[in-house]
Structure 1
Amino acid sequence: MTFPWVANTVLTRSIRLAPIIAMAALLASCASPPMPPSSSMPSVPVAAPVTAGSRPGDSGPLPAPLVQGKSRWVPVRWAELPGFEEDQLFEAWNAWLKSCERPGPIFAPLCGEVRRLSIASAEEQRVWMVARLQPYRVETLQGGSEGLLTSYYEPVLKASRMTGGAYEVPLYRAPSTLGSRKPWFSRQEIDTLPEARAALKGREIAWVADPIDALMLQIQGSGRLDISEPDGSQHVVRVAFAGSNDQPYRSVNQWLLAQGVTKINPWPDATKAWALQNPQRVQQLLWSNPRFIFFREEALSNFDAAFGPKGAQGVALTPGRSIAVDRDSIPYGTPVWLASRGNAANLQKLVVAQDTGSAIVGAVRADYFAGTGPQAGEMAARVNQPLRLWVLWPR
């Protein structure tokens, strides 16, 4: 596709994000076969900005509905996508470039064009999307189009390589015996059974100070540790999901509600406040969730720090532009239009399906990656609101 790009296009971008986009595009192109010459790409005229409902190219007969696992996809016009004309699409291109590092067979043929468009204007990106993609409204097999949006993030915790003092709660690598029994020991058994404790001896990555923080890290599935080394140095590493004990997940908040606790949000602050008032019951609270997560340590470069951990697709998550989905409803690497309004956030934007989670089940269901650190955590704790989704599928 030939676009009349102008030299100052990049200057319209955020100064902070432009190096990330350029570097991501460079790295992605280095790992891929040479792109075809632009003459091999279909030419699409670039029109002046238009209002929703009059988008050029959005005409002609619609294709038939599709069934994708647990979901039904209903073809629609681009005008149905709320906020399509206003979204800062270049932000989403970071996530799309990441997906092109490990694309599936459906989207791999588009990755050359996606890379070219990383420095295009938002209008050029919109024109290309209309020409190359068909939006489908995601519904349940029964026809429901409204679902649930939640959010997750990457916590940052203070930690130490050595136990003692304030740091007494261990974070573990996966034990060598993890596959020897399914499910593996529960959280309570890990704390109490000599056999389980022996299997984890020497598997400690680091220690943190608060058991609620350790539980939160396990619920999120990954995080960063601001870690103190024995020599007195301090640096930040990432701990990524490396496996679980295959025990069922149980909500600590639901357990608290069953105990008659009325203030359970914001998480985890309300839980920590309850724990301070009920120190003799903290272990009981922790054991209410038998699921236990093991981690692996990863180095964190300055470039990596701009992105989140790797999701289930195997690519790094992009804050505000990556979602976790039910892979039986939406394949990994699929660009998705997301619309959700609630007290926590009003979102109308392009995102990419790059992760999943044990609680993310159903056709119209997504978990929104809010980013890293306390501010992202505050947002993630509040998001629990209605959701609509449209997959953008190659024509």
Structure 2
Amino acid sequence: MKHFILFFSTILFFLGCSKESYTTFSNMPDTKLVKSDFQKLPNWDDEEYSNALNSFIESCKTSKTKEIYGDLCVKAAAAADAKEFLTTYFIPYKISSADASQDGLLTGYYEPELKGSLTKKEPYIYPIYKTPKDLVVVDLTQQYPELKGYRLRGKLQGNKLVPYHDRENANANTLDAEVLCYTDSKIDLFFLEVQGSGRVTFENGETIFIGYDNQNGYPYSSIGRYLADIGAIPLQEVSLQSIKRWLEENPSKIDEVLNYNKSMVFFRQKEQSATGSLGVTLTPKRSIAVDRKYIPLGTMLYLSAKTDEVDFNHIVMAQDTGGAIKGSVRADIFLGYGEEAKERAGKLKAPLKLWILLPKEESL
């Protein structure tokens, strides 16, 4: 936990009309934190503490969580009272963005299931690619520490590194990549890329699990926003369901819309169902994707968001990332597998408040 060293503890900033002090930690330099307490967390007394602690213990199997929480990972496994353990050893800090705003956005994602074939045949004609052999990934952290978490991707052209194929060019050209399998829907394949992992079921009933392995180096661009901008779907009605319905009703526009997002994801086969960037199996409603520029993977958080159908007020673990997840008060919550999860995830868009739970100084 030595990585969480206070930079400042008495700097002032304005939230609305009130003056508050914020804290900044060494490995979260762009994230402003306001010290809080558990009784200020919405619906804290209704939390399923044992369930929450189990999620923390599962994350403690990874080096990133151990690095952040140290001996608390050992103490958690032996804790007799989950609530007492959490309130004794942790302090909640409310997360604020760089402009001191505390309101963010919660969306949802799920584990999709596609139909597929190991060989290309009608209707299975859309390839799910492994990482191309000519994709070059450059980690600039050693030369530029301020770029930690960023990687430059491209391909060699002579002795120069040039941008890799974007989505349109990749689909128009033969990639130097193996194909995991083929699927029957270009639209479903696109949403598989957005979700980051999923299942493919073959005609013989066999199912394989696949997950994110790499991407082509282009930033994610929202096709939902694009459809709203061109007047195809009102912005307030944009969802996975409305996007898919519009594409199916306008087949001649599918390529134009999908190619707006130049980012393209490459996959690998996995041994288990949905696994996040942290390397652990995702837990419905307990796992979230974050922007690791602001929130370190492996940290424990508390989120609060309200929709017309359900409220989210509980502990979650930062176990995944996503191209669309940008900013400090931003999270994508994993809702599981199946049609119900798909329906809920596709429509979820709610104002978000977020706290990160860090060890008390005496717990270090």
Query: What TM bracket, shorter-length normalisation?
Result: 0.7 to 0.9
C-alpha contact (below 8 Å) 2:68/2:298 kept by paired residues: no
* Cα pair distance change 1:354/1:110, threshold 3 Å: same
Corresponding position of 1:291: 263
Asked whether the 8 Å contact 2:76–2:85 carries over to 1, the reply is: no
Cα contact 1:158–1:226 (8 A) shared by 2: yes
Change (3 A) 1:326 1:391: same
Residue 251 (structure 1) aligns with: 222
In 1, Cα distance between equivalents of 2:196 and 2:309: 22
> In structure 2, do the counterparts of structure 1 residues 255 and 341 end up closer, same or farther at CA, with 3 Å as the change threshold?
same
What does the per-residue CA deviation read over 1:344-393, in whole Å, with 9 as the maximum and x for residues that have no partner?
Answer: 53111011111222222222111111112221111111111111111111
Q: The residue matched to 1:234 in structure 2 has which SS? A: coil
Counterpart selection for 1:70 from 24, 30, 34: 30
Q: What do the CA deviations read for 1:253-283 (whole angstroms, capped 9, x no partner)? A: 1222233212685644333332333222222
CA apart distance, 1:314: 2.3
- Work out the CA distance in 2 between the residues paired with 1:278 and 1:65: 50
Shift of 1:245: 0.8
* Corresponding position of 1:82: 42
Unaligned runs of 5+ in 1: 1-62
1:130 to 87, 102, 111: 87
Larger strand proportion of the pair: 2
Residues 168, 207 of structure 1: 8 Å contact kept = yes
- Note if contact 2:303-2:314 (Cα within 8 Å) is conserved in structure 1: yes
- One-letter amino acid of the structure 2 residue matched with residue 214 of structure 1: L
Provide the residue aligned with 2:144 in structure 1: none
Q: Counterparts in 2 of 1:180-329, with a 5 A limit? A: 180-181=155-156, 182-193=162-173, 197-200=174-177, 203-228=178-203, 233-262=204-233, 267-300=239-272, 305=273, 308-309=274-275, 311-329=276-294
Task: Give me the whole-angstrom Cα distance separating, in 1, the residues matched to 2:34 and 2:175.
Answer: 54
Aligned to 1:92: 52
CA distance in 1, matches of 2:326, 2:297: 14
- Alignment-derived partner of residue 143 in structure 1: 100
Q: 1:268 to 1:326 in 2, by over 3 A?
A: closer
Residues 298-355 of structure 1, C-alpha deviations (whole Å, 9 max, x = no match): 133xxxx5xx31x222222211101112223222221111111123531110111112
Cross-structure match for 1:20: none
Q: Which of residues 98, 105, 108 in structure 1 aligns to 2:70?
A: 108
- Amino acid paired to 1:113: K
Contact 2:132/2:175 (8 A) holds in 1: no
Secondary structure, counterpart of 1:352 in structure 2 = strand
Over 3 Å counting, the alpha-carbon distance change for 1:365 and 1:146 in structure 2 is same
Q: Which residue of 1 aligns with 2:126?
A: 169
Unaligned runs of 5+ in 2: 1-20, 137-154, 157-161
CA distance in 2, matches of 1:371, 1:240: 15
User: Cα RMSD between the aligned structures?
Assistant: 2.1
Q: How far apart, in 2, do the equivalents of 1:272 and 1:148 lie? A: 22
Query: Which secondary structure does the structure 1 equivalent of 2:206 belong to?
Result: strand
**Shift of residue 133, structure 1, vs aligned partner:** 0.8
Give the distance between the partners of 1:141 and 1:249, measured in 2 at CA: 21
Q: How far did residue 198 of structure 1 move?
A: 5.0
TM-score scaled by length of structure 2: 0.80
**Cα deviation, residue 93, structure 1:** 3.0
Q: CA deviation at 1:100?
A: 0.8
Assess if the C-alpha contact under 8 Å between 1:107 and 1:333 holds in 2.
no
2-side partners of 1:134 and 1:205: how far apart? 45
- Evaluate the alpha carbon distance shift between residue 325 and residue 111 of structure 1 in structure 2; reply closer, same or farther with a 3 A threshold: same
- Secondary structure of 2:44's counterpart equals coil
Would the aligned equivalents of 1:344 and 1:382 in 2 still touch at CA under 8 Å?
A: no
Do the aligned partners of residues 127 and 218 (structure 1) sit closer, same or farther apart at CA in structure 2, a change above 3 Å counting? same
User: Over residues 215-239 of structure 1, what are the superposed CA-to-partner deviations in whole Å (9 max), with x where a residue is unaligned?
Assistant: 00011111111123xxxx3222111
Q: 1:198 to 1:100 in 2, by over 3 A?
A: closer
Residues 69, 326 of structure 1: alpha-carbon distance in 2 compared, 3 angstrom cutoff: farther
Shift of 1:64: 7.7
Whole-Å separation in 1 of the counterparts to 2:328 and 2:215: 25
1:272 & 1:82 partners in 2: Cα distance?
Answer: 35
With normalisation by structure 1, the TM-score equals: 0.74
Q: Secondary structure at the match of 2:297?
A: coil
Q: 1:352 — aligned with what?
A: 317
Bigger Cα displacement from structure 2, 270-279 vs 341-350:
270-279
In structure 2, distance between residues paired with 1:88 and 1:183: 47
What is aligned with 1:36? Answer: none
Question: 1:2-44 CA deviation, whole Å, 9 max, x = no partner?
Answer: xxxxxxxxxxxxxxxxxxxxxxxxxxxxxxxxxxxxxxxxxxx
